[in-house]
């Protein structure tokens, strides 16, 4: 018996013709139809410099859409292109009008894109999403208010969960700001002095052999075999005593400086064209090895394990140890980021490869809040480290309410029950940013950053939280649409429908 589809299946030719017939209930189609692509295009084109020369750029919808797919699905650069190549819904999302089985661009373009974009660009895009959500929330609130006024039992009161006021200096205050800092750790091996010195010996010998082979030179005497033996003598021990480690470090420091001298003599005798023949990454690694050697030598002489700007990876020399004081990982290796949450949207306000005191971020984050939205926050939720005297003085001058414990010793008289409830609620509100860090790291992989360059790693981290904001935008949009449809179907049921309007939806 022959099976006949009778028009129920799309032919390949019809499928290739157009993507306009795809189901509107698909998440990629909904995102493609609702994201502010015109604003994203404008922000993306500012970063380009090919108005008078060079090839034309790819559309911003294709570039940003591919980045969104990559970080939402946790794919590699190559897998992202293959996924888009095989999925018509993703092709619609990135702006294609017809299905194609060809790659939209080469995966290596992702590296160029990450060098081009920064956290400020993703923050501006998140502001565009937030403004659209606020406008839709206002529309839904107005519809509810109109229906409530028409209803015989309605009281006509407006919904507003956060106060809006003008302070004594005429400054407008609206919304809440929640701030905290965390570490976006890089994907590096846990650094030990023995491993770093061994890596230095291994890589510098590899470069010596490469230059000698390329320019047909006689290879100088190197000491990698001896360094390898000294390394294995320590690393294979089940219990490594301090004496064994110190002896191994002493030998590795000796062998590394000998190989470095051979490398430098090779360049001095045969000219700088040998060094210029190495690519940019290799020259950066050589510089890191030399700096790492002198750091390790100084720490070996002083008998310490810390130094300024300590290199923890010769391949990512920008990565620094960040002491976080957590029980599981007291020290993390990566970038320290200062983040703020406004109405559920996350903004990365400070990204630094060096450890710093996050309390210095409060003034910056308040100013960025004012620049983004045109007014100051009503309240600031932060932990103890932010609530020092200087920051409290600043908040008092700006007439911003600090939702944290006061300085000094606890009073002898116990606080009122109302005060205790208010402080408990403030702690609960501040937990949102802690949950944001957990979601960003568990779901959107904002840790174990695999980008190797400092600028590409910064873009990687910012993109993770921008994808989180996009997913929140989609959820809020679907909620608002469901609310409007239910309200249109049953106008009398407005009392049991709750709109999550906080901050700006007043």
Q: Is 156 found in the same domain as 110?
A: no
Q: How far apart are CA 261 and CA 277, in angstroms?
A: 19
Looking at residue 412, its pLDDT comes to: 74
**Eight-class DSSP state of 376:** B
Q: With bands split at pLDDT 50, 70 and 90, how would you rate the model's confidence at 314?
A: very high
CA distances 56 to 53, 108, 429, Å, are 9, 17, 47
Q: Is residue 505 part of a domain?
A: no
3-state helix, strand, coil in the chain (%, to 5): 55, 10, 35
Q: How far apart are CA 505 and CA 323, in angstroms?
A: 39
Spell 321-336 as b/e; 16+ CB within 10 A means b.
Answer: ebebeeeeeebbbbbb
Residue 409: which domain range? 124-187+321-496
pLDDT tens-digit readout, 268-278: 999 889 999 99
Q: Is 146 found in the same domain as 64?
A: no
Q: Is residue 47 part of a domain?
A: yes
**Eight-class DSSP state of 22:** S
Looking at residue 403, its pLDDT comes to: 85
Please give the average per-residue pLDDT across 41-57, as a whole number: 73
Q: Is 370 found in the same domain as 285?
A: no
Looking at residue 489, its pLDDT comes to: 62
Cβ–Cβ < 8 Å for 465, 446: yes
Q: Is 379 found in the same domain as 350?
A: yes
Q: With bands split at pLDDT 50, 70 and 90, how would you rate the model's confidence at 295?
A: very high
pLDDT tens-digit readout, 95-124: 998 998 899 999 999 999 999 899 999 999
**pLDDT of 296 strictly over 70:** yes
Looking at residue 496, its pLDDT comes to: 46
CA distances 245 to 216, 235, 240, Å, are 39, 9, 7
Angle 329-332-334 from CA coordinates, rounded to 5°:
160
pLDDT tens-digit readout, 380-403: 999 889 999 999 999 999 999 988
Could you tell me which of 91, 106, 95 has the C-alpha nearest to residue 16?
91
Q: pTM of the full predicted structure?
A: 0.85
Q: Is 447 found in the same domain as 357?
A: yes
Could you tell me which of 343, 351, 330, 331 has the C-alpha nearest to residue 181?
351
Q: Is residue 314 part of a domain?
A: no
Q: DSSP assignment of 50-116, as one string? A: -SSSSPPPPPHHHHHHHHHHHHHHT--HHHHHHHHHH-HHHHHHTT-SS--SS-SS-TTHHHHHHHH
Q: Is residue 97 part of a domain?
A: yes
| Residue ending a domain, choose from 117, 144, 178 | 117
Rg (CA), the chain: 29
**pLDDT of 158 strictly over 60:** no
Tokens of 392: 């409290």
Q: How far apart are CA 233 and CA 480, in angstroms?
A: 65
CATH number of the domain bearing residue 177: 3.30.420.10
Q: Is 331 found in the same domain as 443?
A: yes
Q: Is residue 375 part of a domain?
A: yes
Could you tell me which of 111, 67, 117, 60 has the C-alpha nearest to residue 90?
67
Q: With bands split at pLDDT 50, 70 and 90, how would you rate the model's confidence at 487?
A: low
Tokens of 295: 């750091």
Q: With bands split at pLDDT 50, 70 and 90, how would you rate the model's confidence at 164?
A: confident
Looking at residue 154, its pLDDT comes to: 38
| Residue ending a domain, choose from 77, 100, 117 | 117
Q: Is residue 32 part of a domain?
A: yes
CA distances 260 to 199, 226, 292, Å, are 13, 15, 12
**pLDDT of 349 strictly over 50:** yes
Looking at residue 491, its pLDDT comes to: 57
Q: Is residue 307 part of a domain?
A: no
Handedness of CA 436, 437, 443, 449 (dihedral sign): positive
Could you tell me which of 257, 156, 155 has the C-alpha nearest to residue 200?
257
Q: Is 148 found in the same domain as 134?
A: yes
Looking at residue 24, its pLDDT comes to: 87
Q: With bands split at pLDDT 50, 70 and 90, how would you rate the model's confidence at 503?
A: very low
Q: Going by DSSP bridges, is the β-strand pair 401-402/379-381 parallel, antiparallel, or unpaired?
A: parallel
pLDDT tens-digit readout, 406-425: 777 777 777 777 777 877 78
Q: Is 410 found in the same domain as 455?
A: yes
Q: With pLDDT > 90 as the criterion, what percentage of the chain qualifies? A: 63
Q: Going by DSSP bridges, is the β-strand pair 331-342/401-402 parallel, antiparallel, or unpaired?
A: unpaired
Spell 213-248 as b/e; 16+ CB within 10 A means b.
Answer: eeeeeeeeebbbeebbebbeebeeeeeeeeeeeeeb
Q: Which helix (H) or strand (E) holds 338?
A: strand 331-342
**pLDDT of 148 strictly over 80:** no
Q: Is 257 found in the same domain as 392?
A: no
As a whole number, the mean pLDDT across the chain is 85
Q: Is 231 found in the same domain as 170?
A: no
Q: Is residue 315 part of a domain?
A: no
Cβ–Cβ < 8 Å for 196, 296: yes
| Residue ending a domain, choose from 84, 117, 150 | 117
pLDDT tens-digit readout, 436-462: 999 999 999 898 899 999 999 999 999
More reliable by pLDDT, 215 or 47: 215
Q: Which helix (H) or strand (E) holds 501?
A: none
Cβ–Cβ < 8 Å for 378, 162: yes
Cβ–Cβ < 8 Å for 109, 77: no
Q: Is 243 found in the same domain as 352?
A: no
pLDDT tens-digit readout, 173-218: 999 999 999 999 999 999 999 999 999 999 999 999 999 999 999 9
Cβ–Cβ < 8 Å for 449, 186: yes
**Dmax over Cα atoms in the chain, in whole Å?**
97
Question: For the chain, what is the domain count?
Answer: 3
Q: With bands split at pLDDT 50, 70 and 90, how would you rate the model's confidence at 500?
A: very low
Q: How far apart are CA 97 and CA 92, in angstroms?
A: 7
CA distances 488 to 34, 147, 154, Å, are 21, 10, 17
Q: Is 405 found in the same domain as 265?
A: no
Q: With bands split at pLDDT 50, 70 and 90, how would you rate the model's confidence at 499?
A: very low
């Amino acid at each position: 018996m022959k099976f006949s589809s009778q028009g129920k299946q799309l032919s390949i030719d019809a499928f290739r013709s157009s993507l306009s017939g795809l189901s509107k209930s698909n998440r990629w189609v909904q995102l493609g139809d609702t994201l502010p692509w015109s604003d994203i295009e404008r922000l993306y084109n500012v970063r380009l410099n090919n108005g008078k020369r060079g090839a034309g750029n790819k559309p911003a919808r294709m570039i940003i859409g591919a980045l969104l797919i990559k970080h939402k699905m946790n794919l590699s650069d190559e897998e992202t292109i293959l996924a888009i190549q095989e999925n018509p819904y993703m092709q619609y999302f990135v702006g294609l009008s017809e299905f194609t089985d060809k790659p939209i661009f080469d995966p290596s373009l992702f590296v160029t894109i990450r060098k081009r974009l920064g956290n400020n660009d993703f923050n501006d895009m998140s502001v565009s999403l937030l403004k659209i959500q606020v406008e839709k929330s206002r529309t839904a609130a107005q519809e509810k208010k109109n229906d409530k006024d028409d209803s015989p039992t309605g009281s006509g009161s407006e919904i507003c969960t956060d106060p809006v006021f003008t302070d004594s200096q005429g400054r407008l205050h609206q919304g809440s700001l929640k701030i905290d800092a965390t570490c976006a750790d890089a994907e590096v091996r846990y650094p030990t002095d023995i491993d770093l010195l061994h890596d230095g010996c291994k890589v510098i010998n590899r470069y010596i052999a490469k230059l000698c082979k390329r320019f047909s030179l006689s290879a100088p005497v190197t000491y990698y075999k001896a360094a390898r033996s000294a390394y294995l003598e320590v690393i294979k021990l089940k219990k490594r005593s301090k004496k064994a480690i110190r002896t191994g470090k002493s030998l590795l420091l000796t062998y590394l400086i000998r190989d470095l001298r051979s490398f430098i003599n090779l360049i001095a005798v045969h000219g700088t064209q040998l060094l210029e023949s190495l690519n940019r990454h290799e020259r950066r690694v050589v510089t890191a090895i030399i700096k790492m050697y002198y750091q390790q030598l100084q720490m070996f002489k002083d008998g310490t394990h810390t130094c300024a700007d300590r290199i923890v990876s010769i391949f990512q020399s920008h990565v620094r140890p960040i002491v976080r004081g957590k029980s599981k990982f007291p020290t993390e290796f990566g970038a320290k980021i200062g983040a703020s949450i406004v109405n559920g949207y996350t903004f990365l306000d400070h990204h630094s490869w060096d450890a710093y005191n996050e309390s210095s971020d409060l003034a910056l984050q308040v100013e960025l809040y004012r620049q983004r939205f045109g007014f100051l926050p009503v309240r600031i939720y932060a932990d103890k480290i932010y609530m020092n005297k200087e920051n409290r003085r600043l908040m008092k001058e700006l007439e911003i309410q600090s939702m944290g414990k006061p300085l000094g010793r606890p009073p002898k008289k116990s606080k009122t029950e109302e005060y205790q409830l208010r402080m408990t609620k403030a702690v609960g509100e501040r937990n949102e940013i802690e949950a944001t860090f957990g979601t960003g790291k568990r779901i959107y992989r904002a840790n174990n950053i695999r980008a190797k360059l400092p600028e590409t790693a910064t873009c990687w981290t910012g993109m993770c939280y921008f994808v989180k904001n996009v997913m929140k935008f989609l959820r809020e949009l679907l909620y608002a649409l469901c609310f409007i449809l239910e309200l249109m179907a049953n106008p009398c049921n407005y009392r049991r429908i709750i709109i999550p309007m906080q901050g700006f939806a007043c």
